Chains A and B, each alone.
Chain A
Amino acid sequence: DGGITQSPKYLFRKEGQNVTLSCEQNLNHDAMYWYRQDPGQGLRLIYYSQIVNDFQKGDIAEGYSVSREKKESFPLTVTSAQKNPTAFYLCASSTSGLHGETQYFGPGTRLLVL
């Protein structure tokens, strides 16, 4: 899991502002994921991508957008449409997105609203 990096560690968003969270991996993994973690709760899937130039919505995609132009990179944009963005955001990757693969997590980005 040391091969997944996220930046920044902390991010502040103003009202009406879009912000982008970075996720990079050098593990040569095909599949990448974005999760949101709220205090005292489990992880919820926002978006996932099993291959370059393709991605799918997870359970809570509204107010978020992603792109997958490169295998190593899967940035997440939190748009102004996301009314409650304060959370801990975790990126993960796995070999191919097939069944039963281990998902390795990045260190996370904590997003706060000013």
Chain B
Amino acid sequence: GENVEQHPSTLSVQEGDSAVIKCTYSDSASNYFPWYKQELGKRPQLIIDIRSNVGEKKDQRIAVTLNKTAKHFSLHITETQPEDSAVYFCAASRVDSSYKLIFGSGTRLLVRP
């Protein structure tokens, strides 16, 4: 069935360094890929998304890249700050079942001051 794998499960970086989180999806018909940030005990919030007609999207310090051939997409955070510490989830959905976001298992990012 549809599946999204996310790695790593935990990531610790020094403040100012970059962080990269990778996701692989199984359904080749997937074409919408959002990323959510969830702080401890809080709701997930969308930080960036990408659609299959583009290979990269950037918003200030965060960027997402998509490789449809390899069926993987990645979140890149540059110049990390302590407030970036949170759990990050990737997700994927396909055009004919848009309601159904398949989530990865999450990456806990810790940015050390």
Residues of A within 8 A of B (CB): 1, 31, 33, 40-45, 48, 50, 56, 58, 90, 97-108
Specify which of B31, B93, B103 is in contact with A44 (CB 8 Å cutoff).
B103
Residues of B within 8 A of A45 (CB): 99-101
Closest 8 CB pairs of A and B: A42-B103, A99-B98, A105-B43, A100-B32, A43-B103, A99-B95, A42-B105, A48-B99
Interface size class of B (residues with CB under 8 A): 20 to 34
What DSSP secondary structure best describes chain A's contact surface? loop
Most buried by A among B32, B41, B44: B44
The answer to whether A43 and B98 have CB atoms under 8 Å apart is no
- Among the stretches B45-53, B58-66, B77-85, the one at the interface with A is B45-53
The answer to whether B101 and A103 have CB atoms under 8 Å apart is yes
Residues of B within 8 A of A106 (CB): 43
**1/0 per position for B71-113, CB-CB distance to A under 8 A?**
0000000000000000001010101101111011110000000
* Shortest distance from the beta carbon of B103 to any chain A beta carbon, whole Å: 3
